[in-house]
Structure 1
Amino acid sequence: MRSFRLILQLLALGITQVLGVPLTPRDADAYPTVTLDYGTYQGVTSGSVTSYLGMNYAQPPVGNLRFAAPQEPEPFTGVADATSYGAACPQQDIVLPDLLPKNVTITSASGLISEDCLNLNVIKPANVSAGDSLPVLFWIFGGAFEIGDASTYDGSLYVERSIALGQPIIFVALNYRVNAFGFIASQEILDANATNLGLRDQRLALQWVNKYISQFGGDPEKVTIWGESAGAFSVAAHLVWNEGDTGGLFRAAVMQSGPPISLRTVAEGQQYYDQLVENTGCSGEDDTLACLRSVPYLELQAAIALSPTFFSYQSLTLAWEPRIDGQVVLRNGMKYIQEGLYAKVPVIIGDCYDEGTLFSFGNVNVTTDDGFLEYVHSNYIPVASDSQIEALGEAYPSDLSEIPYLGAAHATDILEFFGSIDYIAPDALIFFTNNLNPNAPADLESGLSKLSDITWDQWGSDISAPPLLTFVDPAPEVEITADTFRADAISLLNELMLLFP
């Protein structure tokens, strides 16, 4: 195995943003300020875009707030510097399998890392001011709930492109707690009302946007939430939060490679909590949670690194993930959907052709049909009967793909959505954020967007062959295809997912 250190361990342990320190006088146009009810931030303008980076949407989750629900930010005096990205939250250490192609990278934090990481970025057109009411695109990164950093995704691309299209938007991205810092689960955590902290971070950030985005020229009633992988699963969680009550926090949603999923329980996460307690020397304490909150950061980070990751044998049976807790997540997300208890908002759902290949490297020793069925049964769907598992095996025969190696693997679409090769994907999201329709507006200037050359009808417009907008090689080719891929197998999987609580 080759080791890939996804955490810059010694860069920063303390607070990353000093609030209330007087700044050197700067040009007001190049370095504008925005005043919120808890303090003033100074941003930076570059060309047609103004960015306010690393603004705290919550108090630092340190000390007694480690493994605790996020709290609204405290007031500060003076002017806080928001001209550079804030720290990413602590990352899980990932070991990449030797089988993984050398050109495949796993993106985590690109800079500073600290427990003081509950910050967000607002990127907007420079000529927009309070009261202009632009729609807002709110990005939630992925990373298997183990890694991720908002600064690795350049939101200025979306703002600049939206200006060029005459469809201006504001881009917001947050950092939220991941791995054990954000998704620790146990009876002790449940008793402390501290489950699903990463989701709670996201919800508080959405509430921050609802309260303050008008100060930046945004419309709090025109927010679209968008995520990929774990970010998409998070979007799905917000769609069923409070049985579909959005609280006015968003009006549309985009999910790439992550639908409402069937989650495991807090009780099933107890083993990872207990192991963390043991590995930090807290086993003999009467209050193990209090002990974990007092463990020095580097010691805690090293203990978390011993837990399995998405490249481990158990793959996507994650140690640290959202769990059914009866507080934030009440039950199986699929059942919410089946019963109509979800936010009735426009949605876009996307996927990659070969979603599963990336997650098979930790279990390449599963080499027989019987071994495969046992692995799926014990690791993913223990509630299924033997006959149901056999049916699943028949639905997924042992036929090797002709596509080289990983194919169109999970997360390969990120290059399209955060790249400028053809702007097809960014254009679709910009149009959707503005108009709740990913198609190019009829009055769009000819030649501005390749989407003017194609019409993408709603999925339900053709029940027998629901239309998909499909990206094909070579870029920038797109076409409309029918969403009939493995329809019977997917129907069976949906049925099995409903077996969960």
Structure 2
Amino acid sequence: MVWATDTANHVQIGLENAPPLVVLDQGKVRGELRNGVLEFRGIPYGDDVSGNRRWTRAQPAPGWEGILDASTFQPACAQAARYGITESSTNENCLHLNISRPWVPGEILTNTVPRPVLIWIHGGSFVGGSAALYRLDRLVREMDAVVVSINYRLGVLGFMPHPGFDTQHNGGYALEDQRLAMRWVKNNIAAFGGDPDNITLAGESAGGASVCMHLLAPEQTQDLFHKAIIQSAACSFALRSVNEQNAFGRAVGETVGCTDPDNAVACMRQIPAEKLIEAGDKVAGSDLMAFAPVFGTETLPRQGLNSLQQGQFVRVPVLYGGTRDEMRLWVGYAAQAGQSVTTENYAEALQAVYGDNAALIEKQYPPDEQGSPAATLGSVMSDFRPDNGINHCQFIDTAYTLAHHVPVYFMDFADRNAPVLGVSMPASPDPGFELGAVHSSELNYFFPHFSNNSRLDAPDLQPASHSMSELMISSWARFIRSGIPQADALPNWELFSSRGQAMRFSPDQIDTFSPAKEYRCDFWRNLYPTAFSDL
């Protein structure tokens, strides 16, 4: 094997098909060639946050001796198994990241033109998921970019406030983890051939909401990223204050027997992670906001809608988007659990979500409008739901409000033949209605076969869907370079301004449309005026 050494740029690379050695301030790292790209898996960016470091702001990871073998993923952060798809973990020393970049034999990583960087923040309702779930190789190859995925603390260990925690970051430890990772990338990505001055922050669901939280805290995140991609998350959704949500943390502590307020935190730090997670799930019950970020700290000073209306956010181009049938996923989960929606209980199901407004909503959305009451309920909740930030009209409202200050483009994923069963939800039982383009179903179009987890191995896409996915990735590639997602084969993609035109991606036709009109946002704004911007 013949080697060349670039000591000035801290990179050693094989002139044949061998992975390089990258030298960082922390130490030496060797990656591995896999799926045609160069991968560095499980690099620590943050120190251990277990024991007495639980519920503290993570510190940078220490260095290491010798060569770090970055060929293997590190375990996910502590979490319970979800929906029979993702696995449980009790690991708290989990602050690692993965880096994938194109492999060109003989190329010196730091002697080429720096490639744009995309940091991917995984979703999972703030309680699950990991950086290792997503296969990054297709994005890396087709975007010719450096892609980074990150772990961060979850659930009770990452997002739970408590009156005994420090006031600066209470309830925001997971967001602080993400920011520590962002600073690591800013400081180190040049050694991997990435451009530290062209970083796009991207995420879906809870990951997209995390991107929102970083946009909304310019005091903390200015200059850490230069563009943002937000999928299926509303930055304008009303969060709870840290003072309001402290009661949740107190209740979790009491559930595990830590009742003395003077030593509750010390007591909880002695409780096994799995017991805390179990207690958190028990106290949260069906509360969809139990583990959402909170405002009123240095981590997130202001309510999201206030920040947006006042223009207090990081001024970067934004690519915003969602899926056509977002909330049908949760109707499908309920159906698999035996809670089917029928013509007889449709009104009751609306009442459970919308209270006194249910009758007006039923007139607007008759039960069989989408072919079945279950599909219609899913479409109703996809258009707007007051207790959840995954809804079209708040996506659109956020995009409108951002567009007063920065360039914004909007995309809508509408492939109703997208693989869902066995990918976004268990393969059986059949939920009994058309799922369509549900929440997270677009991920398989960016990440081939979706995941490194065999239980989430999606099937190959149909030819028309695959062609569409190539255009979706091409749009991302253009956006992370220029801030404009206009791919060559697409119709003219306008800025999302007063005309409110978005790009709809469907295998049958890719074209512009008015999402506010299709998703009946005037109806929802009139019904819930305080949920929307007054701009």
Normalization by structure 2: what TM-score?
Answer: 0.73
Q: 1:458 aligns with which of 482, 495, 505?
A: 495
On the 8 A contact 1:262/1:498 being kept in 2, the answer is: no
Q: Structure 2 matches for 1:3-402, cutoff 5 A?
A: 30-46=18-34, 48-94=36-82, 96=83, 107-109=85-87, 114-126=91-103, 127=107, 129-132=109-112, 133-162=114-143, 168-191=144-167, 193-242=169-218, 246-260=221-235, 261-284=237-260, 286-308=262-284, 312=286, 314=287, 316=288, 318-360=289-331, 367=345, 372=350, 375-376=353-354, 393=361, 397-400=365-368, 401-402=370-371
Structure 2 residues without counterparts, runs of 5 or longer? 1-13, 376-432, 449-460
- Secondary structure (helix, strand or coil) at the match of 2:324 reads coil
Question: 1:418 aligned to 2:394?
Answer: no
Q: Distance in 2 between matches of 1:424 and 1:481?
A: 17
On the 8 A contact 1:128/1:216 being kept in 2, the answer is: no
- Residue deviations 1:142-179 (CA, integer Å, cap 9, x gap): 111011111111111111223xxxxx210011011111
Q: 2:513 aligns with which of 481, 485, 489?
A: 481
- Residue deviations 1:29-49 (CA, integer Å, cap 9, x gap): 523221111222111123642
On the 8 A contact 1:138/1:173 being kept in 2, the answer is: yes
Q: Distance in 2 between matches of 1:364 and 1:279?
A: 32
On the 8 A contact 2:258/2:264 being kept in 1, the answer is: yes
- Secondary structure (helix, strand or coil) at the match of 1:459 reads coil
How far does residue 297 in structure 1 lie from its aligned partner after superposition? 3.3
How far does residue 414 in structure 1 lie from its aligned partner after superposition? 1.5
Q: Distance in 2 between matches of 1:251 and 1:454?
A: 26
In structure 2, do the counterparts of structure 1 residues 472 and 277 end up closer, same or farther at CA, with 3 Å as the change threshold? Answer: same
In structure 2, do the counterparts of structure 1 residues 152 and 271 end up closer, same or farther at CA, with 3 Å as the change threshold? Answer: same
In structure 2, do the counterparts of structure 1 residues 499 and 340 end up closer, same or farther at CA, with 3 Å as the change threshold? Answer: closer
Q: Distance in 2 between matches of 1:170 and 1:242?
A: 24
How far does residue 396 in structure 1 lie from its aligned partner after superposition? 5.2
Q: Distance in 2 between matches of 1:322 and 1:44?
A: 36
On the 8 A contact 1:256/1:350 being kept in 2, the answer is: yes
- Secondary structure (helix, strand or coil) at the match of 1:124 reads strand
Q: Distance in 2 between matches of 1:34 and 1:113?
A: 30
Q: Distance in 2 between matches of 1:88 and 1:347?
A: 29
- Residue deviations 1:182-230 (CA, integer Å, cap 9, x gap): 1111222254744211111111111111111111111111001111011
In structure 2, do the counterparts of structure 1 residues 192 and 334 end up closer, same or farther at CA, with 3 Å as the change threshold? Answer: closer
How far does residue 370 in structure 1 lie from its aligned partner after superposition? 7.9
Q: Distance in 2 between matches of 1:425 and 1:75?
A: 39
On the 8 A contact 1:51/1:83 being kept in 2, the answer is: yes
Structure 1 residues without counterparts, runs of 5 or longer? 1-25, 97-105, 163-167, 378-385, 441-450
Q: Distance in 2 between matches of 1:70 and 1:492?
A: 44
In structure 2, do the counterparts of structure 1 residues 396 and 145 end up closer, same or farther at CA, with 3 Å as the change threshold? Answer: farther
On the 8 A contact 2:347/2:358 being kept in 1, the answer is: no
- Secondary structure (helix, strand or coil) at the match of 2:486 reads coil
After superposing the two structures, state which structure 1 stretch, 71-80 or 139-148, moved more.
Answer: 71-80
How far does residue 259 in structure 1 lie from its aligned partner after superposition? 2.2
On the 8 A contact 1:91/1:108 being kept in 2, the answer is: no
On the 8 A contact 1:146/1:320 being kept in 2, the answer is: yes
In structure 2, do the counterparts of structure 1 residues 210 and 494 end up closer, same or farther at CA, with 3 Å as the change threshold? Answer: farther
On the 8 A contact 1:146/1:179 being kept in 2, the answer is: yes
Q: Distance in 1 between matches of 2:117 and 2:528?
A: 32
Q: Which amino acid aligns with 2:140?
A: V
Q: Distance in 2 between matches of 1:398 and 1:159?
A: 45
Q: Distance in 2 between matches of 1:149 and 1:454?
A: 35
Aligned residues: 428
Normalization by structure 1: what TM-score?
Answer: 0.77
Q: Distance in 2 between matches of 1:176 and 1:208?
A: 14
- Secondary structure (helix, strand or coil) at the match of 1:138 reads strand
Question: 1:470 aligned to 2:504?
Answer: yes
What is the root-mean-square deviation of aligned Cα atoms in Å?
Answer: 3.1
On the 8 A contact 2:162/2:170 being kept in 1, the answer is: no
On the 8 A contact 1:145/1:320 being kept in 2, the answer is: yes
Q: Distance in 2 between matches of 1:152 and 1:39?
A: 26
Q: Which amino acid aligns with 2:223?
A: G
In structure 2, do the counterparts of structure 1 residues 399 and 122 end up closer, same or farther at CA, with 3 Å as the change threshold? Answer: same
In structure 2, do the counterparts of structure 1 residues 190 and 390 end up closer, same or farther at CA, with 3 Å as the change threshold? Answer: farther
In structure 2, do the counterparts of structure 1 residues 412 and 128 end up closer, same or farther at CA, with 3 Å as the change threshold? Answer: farther
- Residue deviations 1:128-147 (CA, integer Å, cap 9, x gap): 51253211011011111011
- Residue deviations 1:261-297 (CA, integer Å, cap 9, x gap): 2101223323432332123222247311111111133
